[in-house]
Amino acid sequence: MRDIQNDLGGNFRKAMRRLTSAVSVISTMHDGVRHGITVTSVTSVSMTPPSLLFCINRASSVHDPVIRAGRFCINILHAHQIDIADAFSGRVRDKNRFLCGEWASDDDEVPYLIPAQANIFCEMDAISSYGTHSIVIGKVHHVAVRGQVAPLLYQDGQYTVGLGEGVDWVVPVG
């Protein structure tokens, strides 16, 4: 137990790398500019009303536009959409991110990825601050679902479509 306490930050980081998460892109429109960011922190909150949450670092260039816009779309990525995840993770400059993938906008001008596994359109319902991040709760007002369940996953610092080393059906990608 003493080793855990001596390096809490490092051990916490190692523990979180063992947590497999689906990869999504949060997209929004604010002041006529599209914004988006790759996240792995999406989770459902309630079925009544349908709602979800995601966490976003307050230092992110996308944080303020997402908060100010009040509407956003969670685009759940397919296993083969690594290029889109990479583009929105910061490897491509903000204004050029939407050149990767096929994008459209809903009636409220919120951008969404047409070939995403699912698009979940939300209105911001609550925001809470914790540590370095904002926890954003969105009330779902529309959902589009396509294709088979084949999400892009992130584990141990890499994209995957399986659950980890030692499991013979895991297929790392990228």
Q: Convert the pLDDT of each residue in 93-139 to its tens digit.
A: 878 999 999 999 999 999 999 999 999 999 999 999 999 999 999 99
Q: What is the pTM of this model?
A: 0.88
Output the pLDDT for position 167: 45
Rounded to 10 degrees, the C-alpha dihedral 29/119/24/90 comes to: -30
- What share of the chain has pLDDT > 70, as a percent? 90
Q: Which amino acid is at 103?
A: W
Q: Is the pLDDT of residue 28 over 90?
A: yes
| CA-based max dimension of the chain | 56
Q: Convert the pLDDT of each residue in 1-10 to its tens digit.
A: 555 567 898 8
Confidence of residue 174 (pLDDT cuts 50, 70, 90): low
Which tokens go with 80?
């083969």
Cβ–Cβ < 8 Å for 74, 24: yes
User: What integer is the mean pLDDT of 34-48?
Assistant: 96
Q: Which amino acid is at 97?
A: R
